[in-house]
Amino acid sequence: MRIFKPLGILIGFAIFLLLFCSKFSKATNFFKQDTVIANSYFEKAQQLEDSAQYDTAIVYFSKASKIYLAEKYWSKYINSLRGIAGQYRNKADYKNAQTQISTAINLAHEKLDGKDINLGDCYNLQGIIYRDLSNLDSALLFFNKALDIRIKTPGKKSMKIAESYQNIGMILSELGKYEECEEYYNKALSVCTEVNGINDQLAAGIYNSLGVLMFEKGDYKKSEEYMTKVLEIRQSLLGETHPDIASAYNNLGIIARTYSNLTKALEYQEKALEIRRKNYGDSHQHVALSYRNIGIIYNDIAEFDKALEYYFIALKIRQEIFGENHPDVAGSYNDLGIFYMEQGNFDEALYYFNKTINILLVYGSNSPKLDYIYNNMGSMYTYTGHYDKAIKYLKMSLELRINNWGPNHISLSTSYHNIGEIYLRKGDYNYAMEYYKKSIHIDILTRGMDNPHLASNYNSIGALYKGIGQYD
């Protein structure tokens, strides 16, 4: 049974890279004193965003926007609205984020040239919001709109073009279109190296995306090569104590854990935590993520008290930052549900899984994160021998994955495999074989013939034939 333990930092770091779009060019000084004050408010808002003080950042972006509006400084006013939208997005308040970015886009059409670079930046953030909401078709549409404006902007090639290629690649990756995804990442890398050379922060981000892609395809060696390159570039540019160094260590720790090198994995994750605490203090979402990832490793090495301690530290930080109804808080509850399930405490596991579901339902019944919790509920009922309930939840997970990602997405391999496992336990060998074959088809389609996931399916088919007495 494959239990989904989301390695959030990889997807989470890809989303962190996307936030590059919401960091705004530092305001320059102008002659009017009011505008100078507005610029200082704007810069203060950026600093607050960097330290995850999103509510206060909104206050300062709003102060800046009022002055820019009074001065009819439209490009700065639109940037301020985009800043406010970005903070609401950071808080997962998508209703307000959508209101602000829609206002910014409409105003950019009215007051600026339809090809203005600020409109492109607004399109880019709109794409990010749609991506968060799993509306991948709309996300792709707006990322392409942003790219079109950025390509047509006069002057030399911009790093924002590389950013757009990277964002489009991320959507293609989520759609399971790995060859096209890699093509766009390479386009991004080509623009980046042409403009700034290979030893560049954005280049490091693109190598990170390539590392994530290879990880998803099951090519862990290639993933490690890319992530090592990310670390080397960032160390040469930023030294050893920058937050982006912590992200690189986290990703290398995840890969080390995949190889079962838990000592090395713990070393990387502890380095990441130390750097993040020095930069952010103890109340930051990335600090919480480090505590969570260390908790996973302690669970792996059977230090269960420490694992639980770190899970609860992560939960407390997330609750302090986001309140109760946030996907990150749901993620912590999911971690606790898995922990108690593996300990055989199924009542406690069910309690935390239900808390996870209740939060995620706030974001809609088609939230892609729900498919993982339904998968985990299916795993729990498998442990307890309630196979019909297990199949019910696994099929709910499967349906969501097909609806959100299409019929050939890589995640379907796990769904088909897990359903096959339940039918095998029930003795329904024909159904079991049907689902194993579907899992194999997706594995080969998305990862190729040379991938470790196939072994799990072939081993299960071997168990099936043994169950029906066909030993040859």
Summarize pLDDT for 281-340 with one digit per residue, the tens.
998 889 999 999 999 999 999 999 999 999 999 999 999 988 999 999 999 999 999 999
Is pLDDT of 27 > 50? no
211-215 own/partner pairs: CB under 8 Å, 24+ apart: 211/251, 212/10, 212/11, 212/13, 212/14, 212/173, 212/251, 213/169, 213/173, 213/178, 213/181, 213/182, 213/185, 215/10, 215/254, 215/255, 215/258
Is pLDDT of 132 > 80? yes
Amino acid at 380: M
Measured distance CA(181)–CA(300) in Å, rounded: 32
Amino acid at 252: L
Structure tokens, 250: 């986290």
Higher pLDDT, 331 or 26: 331
pLDDT bucket at 471, cuts 50 / 70 / 90: low
Q: Under 8 Å CB-to-CB from 324, ≥6 apart: which residues?
A: 359
List pLDDT tens digits, range 380-409: 999 999 999 999 999 999 999 998 888 988
pLDDT at 29: 44
Average pLDDT over residues 15-42: 59
pLDDT bucket at 14, cuts 50 / 70 / 90: very low
List pLDDT tens digits, range 186-215: 999 999 988 888 778 899 999 999 999 999
Average pLDDT over residues 346-372: 91
Q: Out of 23-32, 76-85, 149-158, 261-270, which region has the weakest mean confidence (pLDDT)?
A: 23-32
Virtual torsion, Cα 65, 67, 69, 75, nearest 10 deg:
-60
Q: Out of 183-187, 388-392, 436-440, 448-452, which region has the weakest mean confidence (pLDDT)?
A: 448-452
List pLDDT tens digits, range 215-232: 988 889 999 999 999 999
Helix-helix angle 8-18:159-174, to 10 degrees: 140
